[in-house]
Amino acid sequence: MNRFVSRLAACLLGLSLATGALAQGMDKLKVRLDWTPWGVQGAMHLAQQKGWFAAAKLDVEMEDGNGSVTTVQLVGSGDQFDIGHAALASMMIARDKGLPVKAVAVFARLSDVGLLVPTGAGIKGPADLKGKKVVYTAGSLEAPFIDSFLAAGGLKRGDLELVSVDAASKAGTYMAGRADAAFSTIPFFLPVVSQSRPSEGIRFADYKLNMPSFGLFATESKIAAKREAIARFSSVVSAAWQYIYEGHEDEAVEAIVAQRPQAKLDKKVLRGQIDALKGFFKLPAPAGSPLGTPVAEDFTVAVKTLTDAGLMKNSKDGKDFFEPGLVRPAPAVK
């Protein structure tokens, strides 16, 4: 047993003893994911594959999703799911509208939304888009921030050709060279499009348009009823991500493929997504906190970003959007 597994086992044992889970048996949790299988789900599939959830006395069922907004709505509106995994900006918008959901863990602290540009094209920021043809998807999370992003480069929409395409055809349009750039989710699309058109990403977060990205959330009632089970789940996922980024990325890839054998997944793309995500995690985690611990300042910044974009109206303190104390550290063992 290597040092990580020993440390993880000690953490899980401590969590289980503290909650009486060993005496009570397995706690069942049903989790709704953000999308069909891709790299951002690597830690959860790895924990399932290696039995780390079971070691934490958790019986976890994970269901694939079809978008963060849908996941937030499904988790927030009923008893069908205990935990959701999604882009947390969608969760914040829903909470602002009255849905009683809160983040319990944040893994990608930087917004995953941005601009995809061909490598070597000379596009380094929004100012370089003047006269360019750029595709985006109306109704997507990227759309409300485009004007602010362009303004950071002194541009308006009339300074470029901005074309809306549906989400399913955006990657193909860009890869075929029918656009000079594309607004999208960087870590998901970058490894996909780079196979035929080597590209790089320009993050909205680097232009004062930041908000937490992928993480875990639950309703207030689920947090109250299943607090310790949710804490164990969040802590296992935290430890799994730490393990992955200590040089075990390929294990995560293999776990995703093993857990979703019918999906016909491309291992190279999955690895590229996991590698691309690392830059959005803001590693290392804040001193004294395990990876995934919500950071109040991140949510305070996000409130301003989302309010300025017109996506939130009932602005609240950033601390209102997350539940602290549900990501627990693994104690050091010798």
> So where are the chain's domains?
3-110+211-321, 113-207
Across-strand partners of 87?
A: 214
To the nearest 10 degrees (0 to 180), the angle between helices 88-96 and 296-308 is 70
pLDDT at 8: 57
For the segment(s) 3-110+211-321, the CATH number from 3.30.930.10, 3.40.50.1860, 3.30.1330.10, 3.40.190.10 is 3.40.190.10
* DSSP-based three-state secondary structure for 196: coil
* Length of the chain counted residue by residue: 334
Distance of CA 168 to the CA centre of its chain: 20
Give how far Cα 259 sits from Cα of 41, 46, 63, 100, 255, Å. Answer: 11, 9, 11, 31, 6
Q: Kindly report the backbone phi and psi dihedral angles of residue 118, in degrees, each rounded to the nearest multiple of 5, phi listed first.
A: -65, 140
The residues, any chain, with a CB within 8 Å of residue 313's CB and separated by 6 or more, are: 96, 307
The order of strands in the sheet holding 27-32 is 58-63, 27-32, 83-87, 214-219, 101-106
**pLDDT per position in the chain (334 positions), as tens?**
455 555 555 555 455 444 444 445 899 999 999 999 999 999 999 999 999 999 999 999 999 999 999 999 999 998 899 999 999 999 999 999 999 999 999 999 999 999 999 999 999 999 999 999 999 999 888 999 999 999 999 999 999 999 999 988 999 999 999 999 999 999 999 999 999 999 999 999 999 999 999 999 999 999 999 999 999 999 999 999 999 999 999 999 999 999 999 999 999 999 999 999 999 999 999 888 999 999 999 999 999 999 999 999 987 899 999 999 999 986 432 2
Same CATH topology for 3-110+211-321 and 113-207: the answer is yes
pLDDT at 314: 83
- Architecture (CATH level 2) of domain 113-207: 3-Layer(aba) Sandwich (3.40)
Two tokens, residue 144:
């409300």
- How far apart, in whole angstroms, are the C-alpha atoms of residue 13 and residue 151? 52
CB 160 within 8 A of CB 126: no
Which residue bears the tokens 């809160």?
102
Which residue bears the tokens 């205990």?
82
CB 32 within 8 A of CB 84: yes
Which residue bears the tokens 């995560």?
252
